Every structure is written in structure tokens, then in C-alpha cells.
Chain A
Amino acid sequence: MRSLPEPGQLQECFPLADLIPSPRRTPRPEYLSAEEYASLGLKCGVEVHQQLLTAGKLFCRCPARRYSTDHHASVLRHMRPTLSELGEYDGTALMEFKTKKNIVYMLNRETVCTYEMDDTPPFPMDQRALQIAIEIALILRCRMVSEIHIARKQYLDGSIPTGFQRTSIVGVEGAVPFGDRVIRIIQLGLEEDACREVSDRGHWRHYRTDRLGMPLIETVTYPELFTPWEAVWFGQVHRLLLRSTGKVRRGIGAARQDVNVSIAGGRRVEIKGVERIPLWGPLIHYEAMRQKGLLTLKDELTRRARPADWLTSTSRIEPAAASGLLPPEWDDGHPMAAVALPAFRGLLSWPLGGNRTFASELSDRVRVVACIDQPPNLIHSDVEPNAWRELRDATRAGEEDALVLLSGDGDDLVTACREVRDRCLEAWDGVPSETRQVAPDGTTRFERILPGPDRMYPDTDLPPMEIPPERIEAVRNQLPPSPWELASRFHAAGLSTRTSGYLARRRDAGALGRVLLDDGRDLSECLIQSFLPMWDAGGGRDERTSRRVLSAADDGVISPKVMPDLFTLLASRPCDDPLTLAREHGLAMLPPEEIKTVVVEEKAEGDDDGLFIRVMRRLGSRAQADTVLDILEDLGVAP
């Protein structure tokens, strides 16, 4: 059994910055210092979802990752909340139910069967996917479970037609080496991927089902990352570890991350579905700023009023009463309502980082829960306060009230007014637990209330599945070398830490390690400089020929410089002897006698001063400088 380096020894083992350059070298202008983030109490954890390289999906036999742009049929569904195993309703589930979405699934014949439509029960779990998940759980040093229990994790947004994701835990309490410490892993799960959202307008949401059901692993870390750049760096380390298996998918959307952020006094907020690791940085920063803003808003609000005494009033508004205020987009005849928010005057424009204010929070809720999603979906009296004089009078709003004006269809308008009130009440509490989605400008928008363990329910369609200890040991014995181990071995063989780090983080690091290290040779920067062009030009696909060329260089048959040329020849004539082939094409090193002949000839041609240069120029890569110098010394010439 191969042992991974102990996390504590990793700093001595190999410097992380040489394996993956630290993102701190290119900080973003908006970032605070590490000390400032520390004084905010910033903590982040991540949930990384990574698609596995399997031919088929996890619970049916459809092909994986065959994405389509057309569809052949559609199914309409609605989602209702149900109870968790412990008998609780999940808050998110209830919120999604309030939105009353019509969810349409677009079906493509090639990529879905009746399983994805939720019209056929699941088939047994794909064993290849489980095998990869076991391998990764071991790489992440998790405590392996003995039996997999498939759970249903409720998603009422419709992203999965069943209304739940089939998910399972393979290992818990792992650790990823991270410089001189480790980042602890809460769990490594194996689960099915969800649909791809096509559109979400008003009460209609459309999904493509091709991605649905693909096997994913989910790594969940503890919140042990304390600056935006540290999180990014960790993300890259984790990605490198997963990719070192060669069994995970790459490309757009193959890995998607959720980033959990909180500051002291705030709450955990989950930013969902980030597709690029470098984006984590600004997202974390802006979320920290938003939470900071919400906490200062809370203090201000607490000074002004108590939630127990706080009552909003809502009035129907005729267009005439609000003339001059109404945005042109509202010229659609929908009814309007004004909500007066006592004590909120000036607080709706409270800054929350980037271009966001507290009014953005209200607007988000109205968009998501009331489905009034065409901007601007509300206007408020903190912008151009003087223009609101008339409406203030008409609604009998107090001097310290803020006014919010909304427009929408009957039921939606009622929901919107209620959501505005509810979100304002939450402001006394500071930061609501929620999931947020990424906006194009790098800030985030409310997506839904953060779900808890109450949305978990055992899957009664499939029995528990044992992972016998022998199976775990068999996988453990076949684990690929870790990037750290590879880098250390390259370094020990004679390469600089930077070159070693570069080779170990390459996608083909495993093969490079086999070819370069397995024969126990010393490596030099010079050898690698000649080797890599050969490797990239085809050597990586033909390890046997690469090895033969390398050993020809080891034996002094050829100069490392001509490795790419010899590789080309040898790859097309694999039966030939490398030495014969090299000689035939003038690539081989000359024997000392022949070199001596050349030296004697050149000596006769001119003076001794330029003799060495002339000989080397004539022989090129067919002779080593050392050999030529020895012969010159023997002849009594000292250049």
C-alpha cells in the first residue's frame, strides 16, 4: 500500500507555491488585507461538484455528457413540499412552493429515458462511478463508510424532475494538504447532476434534461479558508488532486462550485454554481462586504425601531397618483401597490458593496418569490425623495417611512408586498441564511432560503449497498501518485522546484512520472528542455518509444538535443535499433577516433585559437564538448 505524505510534512516535502502559483501574486484592487478580513471574521468553505468520466449516467443507462440543443418532447411538472425523514418541512421547499412555478422539461431522445422523466424507478448505481468516487475519497483521506445509503435531497426549484437529487456519502472527515496545514473535508458524496436551466421568466421555468443524472462527486470542506485568494488557491489545489486521477471530466461546466461565506455576526450564505475558480475571490469579497453592510444596517435599524412595534401599510395605487415616478417599463396596465416601511427612510439606499443597496435585497425577493422579474420590479423613495411628496401624502406615509412601489398581476402583487415586508423584518436579524446566484458583474443575487438537513429523506427505491473492505483496499493499492509526491520525486531527481512543480501539475503528470522517473535516472533542466518538445509532439501518446529515446540519451548514443528527431524516426520504424537509426541519419554521437580525425583535420586548416569552436560547429550534436576538450588536451592544444 502506497502512503501519502503526512499533511504536516508537506511544507518540507514540496513547496506549494511551486506546485501551484499563489493567486495572491495578482491581487484585485478591491481586496482588503488579510488582517482586515481577519478582523471581519471572514470564513469560507466550498462545495465542489465534479463530473466523473463515465460512459453512462448514475442511475440509468443513458449516455453521459452528450449535450444537445434541440428537444423532441416536453413534460410539465409542479413541485410540492414534503416532509423530511424527521418530520419537518424544509424552509426552502415552502418558499419554492409559494412561487408556483410551471416547470417544463425539454427531452431529447438521445440523452434521456423515462428515468429522467421520473416515470421509471432508478436502476442500480453505475459501478464505474462508484469506483472513481472511492478512489477520490481515498485521495482526500476520508473515513470510508461501509455501506452506501442513497438519500433524496429535495430541490423544489425544479432542477430535478423528481423534486429531489439522489445523493450518497462515500466518505467523511477527509483532509486536503494545503501548504503547511490541511483543509478538512466534511464529506465526499456521489450524486446525480441536475438539469440545465434554459430560461426562467415569470411563472415559467424551462430545463434541458441532458445533463440530468450524470455522476458527480461533491467535496464539502469545513469553513477554514480566511481570505478570498486563499480560497482560490485551495480551489486550484483541490482541482489538481481530482484531475490527478485522470477520471474526472474537464471543460465548461464539468466542475461547479458552491462557495459558503460568513463573517462574524453574520450567517452562512451559499453562492451557488460558480463555474470558474478565480471568480471565487471577488464573490467572497463582495459577500463579506454585503454581510458587513447588513450588520451595520441592523445596528442602525435597532436604534430606530423595534420589530415588535413595526407595522407596514399597503395601499393600492392608481397610475395618476404616481405620475412622474413610474418607469416606462410599467406602462402595461398591471395594478400597483405601495408599501410604507416605518423607520426605513434612507435605509433602502444603504450600501451593501459594489452597486448594491438594501433595495436590491427587496428587489431580489420580489423577483424570485413573486415572479415579478422584469427590471425595475420596484422603485423606492430613497431615490429622488422629493418626487415622492404626493404619494407620501396619498398613502399617509410618515416622515420616517420609506415607500416602495410595486407593479404586477393580482396574486403576484400580493406576494410581492408580503415579501418586501418579510425581508425588511429580517433586517433586524442581520444576515439571512440564503443561497445566492452569481450576477454578471461579479456580485450575487438572492436565489432561495438556505436549505437545511430537513430536506433529506432516504431513497426507498434502492436498498443500501455494501462497500466491502477488500474493494476499498484494492482501490487504495492502485492510487495514482499525488501531485506532491510526483513533484518531490522530480525534485529529488535533479530538477528545480519550479520545473518539478510544473511537470507535476500537468494533465499528463502521471505518464511523465512513469517515463522520466521509473528508470531512476538523474534529470537535468537541459534534458527536460529537449524532452518536452518530443513528448508534446507525440511522445506522450507513445510511452514505449519515448523510453527508448531517453535511454539512448542516457547511454550517450545521442545528444539529448536530438531526442525529438530520433523520436520521429523511431516512431515510424519501431522495429529498428535506435543506435543504427541514429547513425543512419547522422544523429548519433561519433566515437572518439572519428572525433580525433576531425580535430586533426581542423587543426591543419587554421590556428589553434579558434579550433574548439570550429570542431564543435562542424560536429554539432554528434559530439560532447567534454570529449572534444579531452582530445584537444591529448594533442597538447589548450584553447
Chain B
Amino acid sequence: MSDGDRFKGYRGPTRALLEREGAGVWSDVEVSTSRGLFVGIILPRSEQADDRHLVIKLPNGYNVGIAADLVNRITEIGRREAHYKIPEKEFPVDPVKPRVKLFGTGGTIASRLDYRTGAVIPAFSPGELYGSVPELADICNLETEKLYAVFSENMGPEQWLGTARAIAAEMDKGVAGIVVGHGTDTMHHTAGVLSFMLQNLPAPVVIVGSQRYSDRPSSDAALNLIHATRTAAWGDIAEVMVCMFGPTSDEYGLLHRGTRVRKMHSSYRSTFRTLGEIPLARVDKKGVYPLRDDYHKRGSSSRVRLADHFDDRVSIVYYYPAMKPDIIDSLIDNGYRGIVIAGTGLGHVNKPLYPALRRAHEAGIAIFMTVQTLWGYVQMYVYDTGRDMMALGVVPAANMLPEVAYMKLGWALGKTADLEEVGQIMLTPVAGEITAREPFDGYLIYQGGIPEVEAFLKGVLR
């Protein structure tokens, strides 16, 4: 064991103490302190924690910290190293079941503890997955491939392009469906860009994750994975979808179209919602139940069309009152090629920004307007300010969600530098990112406290 492993995470006075006493991580010890004796196993220390405490796992399983300056003596009486391993079993193959490919990008479908940081890091292998979610074998023949191991906030163009290419290659080999394991924070960004990069899908692409780590008994990971593989193996919807909890209860998942979905709560299980539309389908352990029929059906195209290009010189500007033009100026100066504005109301920004927007337009930057209300269309004809902005070259992007518009603009600029063509691409719906009609039940944010809402909540498992 190297010194780094032996003193994992320990620095300063505590490390000096361990060195002096000849003990290290995983030593079974008796620690004699000025407060009395503590018995247990020395655990690694989180690197962000201070350097004055020793962490001991007591025989009852609890961990405690002991200040190094209280310690008189450490006696090593043995060693016991932890081998944290999800039980791995070979995934059983059944020739009559459909083949599903699970790509891992990171996220928390399966995870384990990281002693270095004290946080949970994702773990991913088919055997591990089968070991923890054996129900998957009842649904399909699962193959897995780890593409990346990144937290979702670290996903970027390289990972989007790589994932799209891997999916296309797998589709070409003939697969019943694809599941992509993904961290939830930017799941809707990836869903958006994959919707543009993967067109004419012959089979479902289901993006899934979990809001509760799979290291906890109440995790939504297993059920989400069951729902996602069920959708990929048996579902009829050949689109890029997000599959996450419908209600917070362990009841059913919802399948959201990749271009109309958004994470709407920092921690709820039911955080993903379809905005401005209704979800594509409901899914439970037994089946997939479409809620609408205007989806791209399985088998209606034979070959996926891969459009793998992306230019990341694009930014979202979330407008706020009193915003100064230097925000726009800095984008111009830094060579950005596209800006998506999330404007107020129907799509507005203040007047002081106008000259900067004009300069941006003249510098050849494509500028599109979306709404920070998230629901509803940009409408720039209603007020003068809107018309003024269009004159400056700001293009209204209908009811495209700001994050989706960002992804689409990067994708369009990756294909062409021709601004006219970019404009055309942006305003032509590819995967439901712009819709012609907003249904009356596409915007439902029930307010608590209203008697009829309370009656509804009391009557259902939410």
C-alpha cells in the first residue's frame, strides 16, 4: 500500500500522528486519549475536511471523529479493509427477449462511496446492475457500455457527440432500444441535443437517472431503470425521451419528449416535467401507455440519420432588469457566434442593451429570443420594444425552451456558418421543440391550498 493510500485523506497534524504511531487507514486500533479509550477501525478522511481529526469506525458501525491533539497513543491490533462492491452476477441471456443497450455517462443509476471526498461516485457494470436490480432480466437482454464517467454538469460537446455516435452505431447493428444513464442536472440539455443529432430513429432512446442515490433504500434508481428498459425494449415510441418519476410515489414513470422536458425542482423525485405539452406516455413495471399518438413510431424508419455537429461558441443570456450591455459586449469580444436570450414576459430586454445587440448582430452573431417564463410563446409584435429588437436582428424562437434553443443553436452553427441557413434551421421544428399549438393542459401548475386541489391531493398517491 502506498503512503497515499495508507494515510488516505489525512494531512497535517493527524497524518503526523498516524506516522508517529505506525497506524494507517484500515488499521484496527485502540486509541488512547485524554478522554479515555476509543476502539475501532481508522477510516479514510475526506479531503475537504479539516486536518485535526481522526475518523474511527466503532464496532457498532458508527463513525466518530477524535481530535488528534487528544490522542496519547494508538495501538494497532489488526487490519480490516473494506471492499465495497456491488454483488456482480452475469446478466442472464434469454433468446426470446429483446436486446437493449445501456450506455453509461455517469449519474447515479448505480453508485458507491468515495472515501476521498466522502461523496458518492457512480459505479457501472452490467453485472453490478443485475446484482442490484435483478428485475431487469425479466424485461430484456441487457448489454452495457460505459462511455463516460462524469457528473452531468461536466457533460459537454465532446460527450454529446460521442454519445450520439455510439447510439447511432448501436442502432445500425439493430437493437430493440437504447437506454442512456445520465446525471439529472443536465439531463434535459442532453435530451435536447440528442433529439437533434439523432433523427429518424428506428427504436427508442431513453435517458434515465435518479434523484436519490442508489445507495439508499428509498432510491428511485431501480424503478427508473426498470421503466427505462421496459420502454427501450417494448415501447412503441422511437424518439429521444427522458424517463423519470411521474409522481414522487413509487408508482409510474413519465416519458417526456427530449425537446420539451425540463428539470423543475432541485431535489424532488418527480422533478422532470413536460412543458407546454403533455408527456408522451406513462410507464410502469408492466408496460408503456402512450398519452398521445403523434409520436415517431418504432420501425417507421429503418436507419437513424446522424447529424453529429456542434459549435460551443453559444451562450444563454438570462436577462434581468438593469442588465448592462457589457454582458453582450463580452460575448462579442470573446468570439461567440450565437446568443440565446431568455427574456422577460413575451421576450423583452431593456433599452440600454439595444446598441450592444446591434453590434452583436453586425458582428455576425445569431441571436434568438426565448422566454424565461418557460411556458408560452415569444411574441415580439405586441409591444414596440419587441419590434425594435427584431429590427436589431433578434429572432423570436417561438415556444422553444431556452436550454433547447441553446442546444439547437450550437447544433445549427456546428453545421453551417451561414446565418440565413442557421435561422431557417432554428425555426423549422426537428423534434417537437417548436409546436404549432399549445394545448390547454400543457401548462398545469396546481396551487396548494385551493380546496379542489387539496381534495385531489388527498385522494391520490402523489
Task: Identify the A interface with B (CB < 8 A).
Answer: 71-87, 89, 93, 104, 114, 117-121, 143-149, 151-154, 156, 161-164, 167-169, 172-173, 186-187, 189, 220, 452-458, 460, 463-464, 466, 469
Contacts and interface: CB of A to CB of B under 8 A. Distances in A.
Nearest to A141: B36
A117 B251 CA distance: 15
A81 B131 CA distance: 11
Given A151-B61, A453-B61, A456-B62, A119 B267 contact: yes
Contacts of A457: 113, 215
Interface string B53-64: 101011111111
B118 A460 contact: yes
A85 B461 contact: no
B458 A463 contact: no
B70 to A, nearest CB: 7
A463 B118 contact: yes
Given A72-B458, A73-B458, A87 B82 contact: yes
Given A143-B38, A146-B70, A457-B215, A76 B63 contact: no
B172 interface: no
Given A118-B218, A469-B67, 18 more contacts: A74-B462, A75-B247, A76-B250, A76-B461, A80-B222, A82-B219, A85-B82, A119-B267, A147-B53, A147-B65, A147-B66, A149-B55, A149-B62, A149-B65, A156-B217, A162-B218, A452-B61, A463-B46
A85 B84 contact: yes
A120 B119 CA distance: 17
B83 interface: yes
B64 A145 contact: yes
Contacts of B35: 143-144
A162 B119 CA distance: 18
B84 A83 contact: yes
A454 B53 contact: no
Contacts of A80: 132, 217, 219, 222
B184 to A, nearest CB: 13
Nearest to B50: A466
Contacts of A84: 61
Interface in B215-257: 215-219, 222-223, 247-251
Contacts of B57: 85
A76 B249 contact: yes
Given A456-B62, A460-B119, A164 B216 contact: yes
B248 A75 contact: yes
B214 A82 contact: yes
B296 interface: no
Nearest to B84: A87
- Most B-side CB within 10 Å, residue of A72, A89, A145, A456: A145
B48 A463 contact: yes
Contacts of A151: 61-63
B430 interface: no
A177 B312 CA distance: 71
Contacts of B66: 145-147
A460 B36 contact: no
B150 interface: no
Interface string B445-462: 000000000100110111
A481 B60 CA distance: 31
Contacts of B112: 83
B125 to A, nearest CB: 14
Nearest to A82: B215
A77 to B, nearest CB: 5
Interface in B16-59: 33, 35-38, 46, 48-50, 53, 55, 57-59
Contacts of B213: 460
A482 B83 CA distance: 46
Contacts of B58: 169, 172, 187
Contacts of B64: 145-149, 169, 172
25 contacts: A72-B457, A73-B457, A75-B462, A77-B249, A80-B217, A82-B214, A84-B61, A87-B83, A104-B461, A119-B267, A143-B37, A147-B55, A148-B65, A149-B55, A162-B216, A162-B217, A167-B62, A172-B58, A172-B64, A187-B58, A189-B62, A453-B59, A457-B113, A457-B215, A460-B118
A114 B267 contact: yes
B173 interface: no
- Which 9 pairs of residues, A with B, have the shortest CB-CB distance? A147-B65, A163-B217, A453-B61, A456-B61, A146-B67, A76-B249, A149-B63, A145-B64, A143-B36
Given A82-B214, A85-B113, A156-B217, A458 B38 contact: no
A162 B217 CA distance: 7
Nearest to A456: B61
Given A78-B250, A173-B37, A466-B53, A455 B61 contact: yes
B120 interface: yes
Nearest to A169: B62
Contacts of B53: 146-147, 464, 466
A147 B268 CA distance: 30
Contacts of B216: 82, 152, 162-164
A373 B421 CA distance: 70
- Most B-side CB within 10 Å, residue of A73, A151, A153: A73
A453 B60 contact: yes
A114 B270 CA distance: 12
Contacts of B462: 73-75
Given A74-B462, A162-B216, A466-B50, A454 B61 contact: yes
A331 to B, nearest CB: 32
A172 B212 CA distance: 32
Nearest to B70: A146
Contacts of A118: 212, 218
Contacts of A154: 217
A174 to B, nearest CB: 10
